Amino acid sequence: MRYDYFSDGELIQMHEASVEILKRIGISTSSDRLRGLFLDNGCKEKGERILFTEDVIDKGLKTVPSAFNIYGRNGCDLVIEMGKQKGYAQTCVGAPSVIDLETEEKRDASLKDLEDFAKLSDALENTHLISPVFPRDVPQEIIVTAETAATLRNSSKPQRICAESSHELPYIIEVLAAVAGGMDALRERPLAYIEVSTISPLNSGFHPAEALIDIVEAGLPLGIVPCPMMGATGPITLAGCVAQHNAEILSSVIASQMLKPGAPVVMSPRVTFMDMKTGLGLWAMPEQGLAAAASAQLAR
């Protein structure tokens, strides 16, 4: 069963709105590498904004691969076939806290918790992709490297990795390559896709931009996961926030194809909603599910 949020006509309007955002408002970035990439490939600079043209957008979208695979390690026969319209289950990413099973009290997540989490996820038949909890008892400057190593040691399933900073990325890739049997083997059978989270609204911050470039240049699958919040860092309307979100994703998709036409890339919908009383992001609102359905329809 397939759920479409937009009609065919509305879907075209949403895409055109995203294109207009990129053409008239564009994005900002503090990365000279990303700015240079865009300007060298047909974008224009106006003030501190990078503006796209219709031709640049169309060219970038033409070379995006329709499908690619992510693999398990150590002979694991689990293969994630991205783009084949198959359904997979992924663990929740980024929990900094857990409920202790002994005391039933909430506390900071530890590396041991992550190891147990990975072992459990590995054993669950209907869990296919593993994303980590965030351990607080390791140096936060190397947290993603520690997460990646711990998950690889305790699971054979494919991973989704969220890169928090560009300076840590070489070590993350080094760990993946060591397990895969070298960089060539990792490119041939990637064990993970690595996501970057650009800053809403419409800002490719320094670390996400630098990490994006390094991931693509390494030949690994890239995930793009901005997180605009309706009423705060995005429009209050669902359609408006989805259009902005789609524009943010498209700018990074286009960058990946400028770097390496045919580079594998994942569009990850993540629009949330702000509680007007507290300013907190609400992650269980009906609007979030609707926005995800709308964004997935645009991605298709």
Q: What pLDDT digit, counting tens, does each position of 46-80 carry?
A: 999 999 999 999 999 999 999 999 999 877 789 99
Mean pLDDT score, 229-243: 94
Q: What pLDDT digit, counting tens, does each position of 184-216 carry?
A: 999 999 999 999 999 999 999 999 999 999 999
Using pLDDT thresholds of 50, 70 and 90, give the confidence band for residue 4. confident
Q: What pLDDT digit, counting tens, does each position of 86-104 carry?
A: 989 999 888 899 999 899 9
Q: What pLDDT digit, counting tens, does each position of 157-179 carry?
A: 999 999 978 899 999 999 999 99
Could you give the CA distance from residue 197 to residue 29 in angstroms, rounded to a whole number? 13
3-class DSSP assignment, residue 185: helix
**Residue 69, strand partner residues:** 81
**Residue 193, strand partner residues:** 160
Report cis status (omega within 30 of 0) of the bond before 201.
yes
Q: What's the confidence (pLDDT) of residue 276?
A: 86
Using pLDDT thresholds of 50, 70 and 90, give the confidence band for residue 285. confident
Indicate whether 226 pLDDT > 60.
Answer: yes
Give all domains of the chain, ordered by start, each with its CATH number. 13-86+159-299 (3.20.20.480)
Using pLDDT thresholds of 50, 70 and 90, give the confidence band for residue 5. confident
Report the 3 state secondary structure along 278-292: CCCEECCCHHHHHHH
Q: What pLDDT digit, counting tens, does each position of 108-154 carry?
A: 999 999 999 999 999 999 999 999 999 999 998 999 999 999 999 99
Share of the chain above pLDDT 70, in %: 99
276 vs 67, residue with greater confidence: 67
Indicate whether 1 pLDDT > 60.
Answer: no
Indicate whether 260 pLDDT > 60.
Answer: yes
92: number of Cβ within 10 Å: 10
Torsion sign over Cα 232, 234, 239, 245? negative
Q: What's the confidence (pLDDT) of residue 140?
A: 87
